Each structure stands twice: as C-alpha cells, then as structure tokens.
Structure 1
C-alpha cells in the first residue's frame, strides 16, 4: 500500500501540495487561532501590558528634608591690610620689629633720626610759655585801664600761633616713630637701618589677621538666599574646616560675571589660619525636600532638560525635570519630584514620556550595584 502511494506521488507530485493546502485550510477554518488570540488579548488586558512593552525595574523612593547649601569658591584674606608710610623725612635709626612679629596697637616698629626735632619742641614750648606770660600780664593791665583791646587781641594771636607751632613740633617728633596702627602682624618691612626715606615713602605692610575674610562670588539665582549674619562653613586648601558669619553681601552684580561678592568672616585670635589660600565656602540656605539617587539615573529630555524617569500608577513613563541640590560620596540629592515616586533604575535610557512599560520591582542585586545596571539593555 505504501509503495503504491509513493509511486503515485512520484508520478504526480502536485497531489502532495494540494493535500497540504487542504489540511491548513481546515485548521484555520476551525477557529482555533481566534480562540488563541482571544486568550492572548485577555491575558494582556489582565496584566495591563503587551508583548511589545519594555520591561523596566523600579524602586519606590520617598523624599527627605535636607539642608541645602550653596558652594562658593574664594580666597582668604586678612580683615585689614595697611601699607605703612612715613609722614616725615629722615634716616632709619632704629628697628624694633621683624617681619612676622605680632604687635599690639601703638607698639613701635621703627624710628627715624630725630636730628633737631626735640630741640624744636623745647623751643616751641618755651615760646608758648613766653606768650602766655605776656597775655596774663596784659589782662591785669587791662583791668586797670593800661592795655587796650587791640593790644590784647595782638598778644592773644601771638599766643595761639605759639601754641600751634608747639603742636606741630610735637607731632613732627612723634612721626619719627612708626607704630602699629592696630593689633596685628607686621607682614613686610621694606627698609633697613641707614635707609633714607621721604615723607610718603612706604616702609612696610601691616595686617590684621585676628579675623580672616574669605571672599567669593555667588551666582545671580543664589544671591537672594544669602544674608548678612548667616552661619557658613569653609574648607581651606590646607584641609582645615572653619566656620563663621557672613559679614557682607554685594548689592550690585559684577558687570563682567553677573555675580555678587560675598564675604565670610572667620575668627582667628591665635593667627593660625593662613591668608591668601583657596577656600570652599558652604552657605546654608534652609531645608528642601529632596530625593537621593545615583547620578547614573539622571537623563536628558528631548528639549535638553535634566531629569529622571518614573512610572505612574497606570504603568506609564513620567519624566520630571530636576534640580541638583547637592552631590557627594553618598550620591546626588535632587529636588523637583513628588514626595513618593516609582523611580526607574534599570532601562531609563530606553523609554520616553508617556510610554507604557512593564514595571517590576528592583531586585537586591540591582540595589547593590545601582548605577551600573542602568546602562545595560532593558530586560525583555
């Protein structure tokens, strides 16, 4: 029987093709495919996803209140800096202080040769005594009618001139000694014994480093959040952490940079903090509601906005623009999200706003390596 069938097929092969088409037609007309499609559709409606939906991993996140800081880079400077100069001419006779010495206000730094200045003071003092005696005598004579008003006025004028000359002589003598203008440190001295100086010549630099001023600039958007008296911290390039109060905030922006100058005053009673070094200020601007996450979860929207992708209660992708509040070794804190979100942690780079996705909870291994799996292909 089998040999006869094989013989017939060999002679007439079109019979095999016709038989195959007949069997397929009967199977399709039976409704089996429709029932299978209905079952597949019902299954898809039950799950809320389709075979084409991208599967992503999500993690439930809740925002926290954290302290917000503005980071400002600047330099440390003494609270006061004075270029000392002479008010009289002369030769340097004595030097009392060396560079780096800490002095109190009024302590001598150097002295000029006084020449005849002491003699001028003594002469002016004697002249005052002489004219005072004459004036007193004329007052007695005037009472008896022996001195006129014009004589009294002339004698008084000479007395006042003598007093003025005496004051100038004493001031000139005092100017022979250069003294510390306030408590601080002699930063530099540019003269030595024997040098001749003229009035107005600079002889050194004196600084007040009992307080250190860290000066930096804040952006326009942050200037309104910084107030005089606010507490702030700073990290010096030396590695030392210090704290103080904001003492000055500029009211006019720098024309070139559109930034505002800010000064942070740091107590430095022992003079241990260096001036002229780089510092990083952190100025607190209050609390903000923020989410903590890996920087790898951040993405860009079609218009270039920085944000993150989340999944809403209907399984659709929602993109939220965010603002970075602060970054550190523990991750990035961002604001701009609802208090609770289903954050896409795997596959966020392969979805778009409004797209239907198959969201599954983040497994433990993804949590242990958050930020690495986010760059892998989405799960299918």
Structure 2
C-alpha cells in the first residue's frame, strides 16, 4: 500500500521535468520534429535577435517590451480641506446670580425650560426696601424745598453790599472834606505863628488857629474811622453773599445726595427681580421658593444654543490654511451633518499641545444640536494641484513607499512616490508628482524600474 504513493510521486516529477525543463523538445516531439531540427531553429532565432539589437519585432510592437496601459495625466486644481475632531459648544453660558440678599417668593422653573430675554427667573422678598425708598424720596423733597429759600438770601446779601458800598463812598467824601479843612487850618496856623513871632498878632489869635488845626485833625481821624467802618460793612456784606451762595450750594449738594439715595433704593428694589440676560434654556432648576439667597447666590444657569459653535484645535502646520469666513461642515456623533462658517481663529497657540483654537458658527434653530457633542469638522482651505488616478494604479516600492509607476522618457518603467490627499468615487487625488506624467494604470505590478515598456494610452476619466 505504501509503494503506490512513491511511484505516483516519481511519475509526477518526471512529467514536470519534461514539461518545464525539456519543454521545447517535448513540443517538437508532439509536432513530429527531430531534436536536430529544433536546435537548428533555436540557433537561427538567436542570430536574428542579435542582428536586431537584442529585440525581435513583430510589426510595430517590440516583443522585448512589456505591454502596459498608461494614463497621460495633467495636474488639476482641487479644493483642499482641513479635517479635525472637535465638539459642539453653546454660544453663551451664564450663571445668573443674585445682586442682593433675600428670600425667594417666586415659583421655581424646572431645568430645560425655554426662556426669553427679560423673563423672570427669581423674585425676592422686598422686606423694608420700599420704606427705605419712601424715606429717601422724602429727604429729596425736603432738600428741594430748601433750595428756593437759600437762593432768596443771595439778593438780600447783594442789597446789603450795595448799601455798604454807598456808605463807603460817603465816608470817603467826608475824609476828603476833613483833609481839606485840615490843610486850611494848617495854613492859618502857620500864618498866625509867623505873625506872632514878628509881634503882629495876639496870642489869642494864635491859640484859636492852633485849636482850629487840632479840630481839623480830629475831623480827619473821625472821617477815616467812618470809612474803615463802611469798608468793614462792605466786607461783611460780601461775606453774607458768599454765605448765601454756600447755602445754595449746600442745598444743591443735599439734593444730589438725596437723589443718589433714591436711585440706590430704586436699584435695590430692581435687584429683587432676577431676569434672563438672553434667550435660551435653563440648564438647572431656578432657586426654590422660600430659600434664602445671599449676594452672589445662584439663581439659575442659562445656555444659548442658537446659534451653536463647533470648537476644534488645529495643528500649527495647518492654521495658516484657515481664515475667518471659510465654509465648514461637520458630522456629529449622532450622524447629523451641519454647515457653517469659521468665525474665530486663535492667534495664540496652546502651550501644551501647540494647537490653535478655531470656532465655527452653525445655525441651530430647532435646538436639535446639544452642547458637548463630538464632531468631525471639515474646513475648506485654499486649493492645491493634484493628479486624479484610479485607485488600482497605486503600488508600493521595495521600501514600502506608496506611489505609482510611470513611463519614463526612455520608455522604461519608473517608480515615483506620491501622497494621497483625497479619495473620491472617480479615484484618488495624488500630489508629489510632476505637472505632466504618464502613469501606468494596468500592468504596473509586472514591471520594475528600468524594465522596457510598450504603453497603450487611454483617456482620463471625466
């Protein structure tokens, strides 16, 4: 039983030997030719090949070249894009907090409620704030009532100053008159004194002249004292005017202080009603009725989802390709496709990742997009030149580098590395190749660099 497999193996080996090694002799035997005829024909073929330069031609096709199909490719400009992963982010998120303390007297809104700008979120108990406002308003009315009285004192003070100024003028006239009399009395006294020395006048006349001189001097002193008193009256009147003006200013300051108190009391009352700063959704329940809210206490958290932002981080190598206003699209984790435009490109890189934050604004009128969803973002960038080739034309060289085999100028196969930038239904787009190149699309796996090829060209698709 073991002998039959051995015999079968020997027979198969002999058959393969004749088919592979002695193929020519076997074919000649099948045609009825002798071994000498086969050897003579082979020698003749080799001699003919040497005369033709090593290639045997059959019409216009060189039998020594490998037939391939090539594509005469020309670069085309395609739209480029930057792809990155990101997330959705609410346009605005605000924690609405109390600006004053008080007990909540309004019913709470549940989380997820839709609110518009100005809607009441929390209402606080006014307490004594209304009474404080009324008190401030009373002080304001009192201060305003005092202002006319203070203003009326100014004309009275000005009238007193005018009267004092007239007294000054009268006193100055009296001083001038007294000085004139003093001058006359001095002249009379001097004359009487000289006459008395010569014996032409009596002692009585000299004494009278001296008495008149002293009386004139006394009149001058009295007139000057009256002038000083009148001047003091003017100064007092001016001080009265300044006092009246100060009274007006004080009344006005009191009014301003009272107005500030009224405004503060009114502002304190308006703080009792906490409203939504913008339209959106409540992310948390509003403060519970009866709870005590302190200054800075949380009333509610509001988020705005219309429009919504797509946030991603771009490597520094691609940030120069993105500009504000560029069209962008994204596919969310839910499978929803959205479109928008770039509204922000950061000018400062993250210190840890060296990436730049970008924001894409997307409409969200139906609020179907939530905050925090994962998104694959595609941002349109400046176009680039590339070749469109069938995906089957791609091959690898001995180093495992991706590229295509091309027809060189000497009609030999030549591998060229390339980089795939996009995949489409019509093929793949490659960069890194010359602007014009003949790419082998059929037969590239059967040739290596330097192998002669006979290309047949086909037209490019599209």
TM-score (norm. length: structure 2)? 0.63
Give 1:170-319 correspondences, 5 Å limit.
Answer: 170-189=266-285, 191-295=287-391, 297-299=393-395, 306-319=402-415
Moved over 6 A (4+): 45-50
Contact 1:56-1:357 within 8 A present in 2 as well: no
**1:236, 1:287 → 2: CA distance?**
25
Q: Between 263-272 and 210-219, report the one with greater CA deviation.
A: 263-272
Structure 2 distance, partners of 1:257, 1:117, is: 54
SS in 1 for 2:381: strand
RMSD: 3.4
- Between the aligned partners of 1:274 and 1:191, the Cα distance in structure 2 is 24
Query: Displacement of 1:103 after TM fit?
Result: 2.5
Cα distance in 2 for partners of 1:193, 1:333 equals 64
Which structure is higher in helix share? 2
From 124, 127, 139, the counterpart of 2:136: 124
What displacement does 1:57 show? 4.9
Offset from partner CA, 1:331-356 (integer Å, 9 cap, x none): 4322233444332335646755x522
TM-superposed CA distance for 1:199, in Å, is: 0.6
Aligned counterparts of 2:252 and 2:319: Cα–Cα separation in 1: 62
Deviations 1:203-233 (A, max 9, x none): 2211222211111122222211111122222
Gaps of 5+ in 2: 1-35, 158-239
Deviations 1:255-286 (A, max 9, x none): 22222211111133443433221222222223
Quote the offset at 1:247 in angstroms: 0.8
Matched, 1:84 2:180: no
**8 Å CA contact 2:422, 2:429 repeated in 1:** yes
Q: Which has the larger radius of gyration?
A: 2
TM-fit CA distance, 1:33: 7.8
Q: Which moved more, 1:128-137 or 1:143-152?
A: 143-152
The answer to whether residue 168 in structure 2 is matched with residue 73 in structure 1 is no
Name which of structure 1's ranges 145-154 and 215-224 shifts more when overlaid on structure 2.
Answer: 145-154
Task: Give me the TM-score of the superposition, normalised by structure 1.
Answer: 0.75
1:105 paired residue among 114, 117, 121: 117
- Uncovered stretches (5+) of structure 1, i.e. residues with no partner: 1-23, 368-380
In the alignment, the residues of structure 2 paired with residue 56 and residue 105 of structure 1 have an alpha-carbon distance, to the nearest angstrom, of: 71
SS at structure 2 position matched to 1:41: coil
Q: Which position in structure 2 is the counterpart of 1:355?
A: 450
